[in-house]
Amino acid sequence: MDKADNTKSKRYKFRCWKCRKEYFGPLEITGQQKVIVTCPYCHVQAVVNLQPYYKELRTVLKREEYNATDIQREEGFQPPEIFPTLKPE
Ligand SMILES: [Zn+2]
């Protein structure tokens, strides 16, 4: 069946760069640096830069190199209360 209940994908809060409204959206932590989200209010696409939130992960990965599992990646991820978003290029 489908994997909609996969716990790898959690919901986080984002603030739209355009209309400034806050909304929840799913975010799968797979080690990527940037993700694209879509505002449910004004429907613009927004870029979320995840790089600053992997600080702790880098310490974790010193031992494991980049063979870390998704669980380790998630443990090293320190999300803010609300993710700021940027206008896509
Ligand atoms: Zn918006």
Mean per-residue pLDDT, 47-60 = 75
Residue ranges of the domains in the chain? 9-84
User: pTM of the prediction?
Assistant: 0.71
Structure confidence at residue 82 (pLDDT): 97
3-class secondary-structure state, position 57: helix
Whether residue 63 is predicted with pLDDT greater than 90 in this model: the reply is no
pLDDT tens figures, 21-50? 999 998 887 878 899 999 999 999 999 999
CA 25 to chain centre: 9
Average pLDDT, the chain: 79
- CA of residue 23 to ligand 1 center, whole Å: 9
Measure 62 CA to ligand 1 centroid, in angstroms. Answer: 38
Distance 89 CA to ligand 1 centre (A): 16
**Which pLDDT belongs to residue 8?**
63
d(CA 62, CA 30): 17
What span, in angstroms and rounded, lies between the C-alpha atoms of 52 and 44?
23
* Percentage of the chain lying above the pLDDT 70 cut: 67
CA atoms within 13 A on the CB side of 39: 21
